[in-house]
Amino acid sequence: MTGDLRALFLRHVCQTSDGPMGLVVRDARGATIHDAEGREFLDLLAGMGVANVGHAHPEVVAAVRTQAERHLHVMVYGEFVQEAQVRLAARLAGLLPAPLSVAYFTSSGAEAVDGALKTARKATGRRRFVAFAGGFHGDTWGALSVGGNPVYRRPFEPLLPDVDLLPFDEVGALADIDERTAAVIVEPVQAEGGVRIPQPEFLPALRRRCDDVGALLVLDEVVTGFGRTGRLFAHEHHAVVPDLLVLAKALGGGLPLGAFVGSPSLMATLRHDPPLAHVTTFGGHPLSCAAGLAALEVVLRERLAVRAAALGADMRQQLAALVGRGGLAAVRGIGLLLGLEFVDAAACSTFTRRAWEQGLILNWTLHRDTVARLAPPLVLTDDEAARALARIATALG
């Protein structure tokens, strides 16, 4: 059965690499995934940042079951009043700083980025976008256009015009943002770029520059949202409020869900000239919103952001003691978003292969092949963390 499934997977599911992991998943609970042979893996990527409350959290599963018994898809976005969607939007509005109070739900983070870019152009009447080298915002046409890695951009060019990339975390470069700029899009931490954490002055300076020239600031918190960095949202570390906030991954509690959130006046630009200026069929699906609301309540009630800050600091300290082994050159991170920097790509690749053999699910970052990223579920137990650290030490040799 396992061999048949893997063969069908390779034959009929589009492959995006020559060497997919090929793990045949039997079940997943908390931070643990079992394969079809019963082998146990500790998931230190949380499904690429999705499972902040762990895989198949019982409250999320119960919310999905209850919603499925009520109704599934009933109408395209924004026409019918669907309780799960409304409750999640209202809960987010109560947690975010003013004036961020109106959410547009999508099916993914990249789709939310595209929606935010469209909104910025329509609201400002300007064409230019500014993004940052090393940034990653998704793989749809618009999101790729503001991505910061030429390796992934080049095969699909020409992309959107009037996009300029600035060096990340360089305050002096922000002078290039001018009155032609509709929006600047940035990650509070560059996750795929190698877990790059900006200096404390960078994001506040970026906010001021956008205000000076009338450009909108779009913060991409697809990875950093919902407790990952030790705060509910990463912008709280800097006291910076964006004009548009992009969310996804952990937003759906394990189901596909994205959103971009803005002020009432800014989001109202999508309802006129023309009406239905941005529509979606499955965005804000009631199952996803029910799961997302349940997951959000777990994050808040169990204070998982505080947990991420404490456990992340402890893991960074223990990982730092391993620097020098197996080509490990540096350890950095914020909350439970950790980056292991290696001396070269070969050392990083060797480490990730050995970690896999130790039953750890992790990988190098998409835009920096010398960095392995750890982003485990925020419900990772102390015992699981200790086992993970011991296996990492073994993988380093």
pLDDT, position 78: 85
3-state secondary structure at position 191: coil
> Is the bond into 376 cis (omega within 30 degrees of 0)?
no
Please provide residue 222's backbone torsions phi and psi, each rounded to the nearest 5 degrees: -60, -45
pLDDT confidence tier of residue 17, bands split at 50, 70 and 90: confident
Question: What pLDDT shows up at residue 365?
Answer: 81
CA distance linking residue 117 with residue 232, whole number of Å: 24
Percent of the chain with pLDDT over 90: 91
Using DSSP, state whether 259 is helix, strand or coil. Answer: strand
Return the number of other C-beta atoms located less than 10 Å from residue 369's C-beta. Answer: 15
* Token duo for residue 312: 């992340």
The single-letter DSSP state of residue 30 is B
**Residue 49 predicted with pLDDT over 80:** yes
Q: How far is the C-alpha of 244 from the C-alpha of 260, rounded, in Å?
A: 6
The predicted model gives 52-67 an average pLDDT of: 98
pLDDT tens figures, 199-258: 999 999 999 999 999 999 999 999 999 999 999 999 999 999 999 999 999 999 999 999
**pLDDT of 343 strictly over 90:** yes
Looking at residue 15, what is its pLDDT? 87
Domain boundaries, given as residue ranges, for the chain: 2-56+303-396, 59-301
The CATH number that domain 59-301 falls under is 3.40.640.10
Lowest-confidence segment of 9-13, 28-32, 114-118 by average pLDDT: 9-13
Least confident of 34-38, 177-181, 233-237: 34-38
Alpha helix (H) ranges present in the chain? 2-12, 46-49, 58-70, 83-95, 109-124, 141-145, 150-153, 202-213, 264-267, 286-301, 304-320, 345-357, 382-396
34-49 average pLDDT score: 95
Are 221 and 247 in contact, with CB atoms under 8 Å apart? yes
Say which CATH class 2-56+303-396 falls into: alpha beta
**DSSP percent split of the chain into helix, strand, coil, nearest 5:** 40, 20, 40
Q: What is the pLDDT of residue 77?
A: 86
Share of the chain above pLDDT 70, in %: 100
Instruction: Report the amino acid identity of residue 188.
Output: P
* pLDDT at position 76: 85
Q: Whole-angstrom Cα distance, residue 74 to residue 79?
A: 10
pLDDT at 80: 94
pLDDT of 1: 63
pLDDT given for residue 361 in this prediction: 96
DSSP state of 196: B
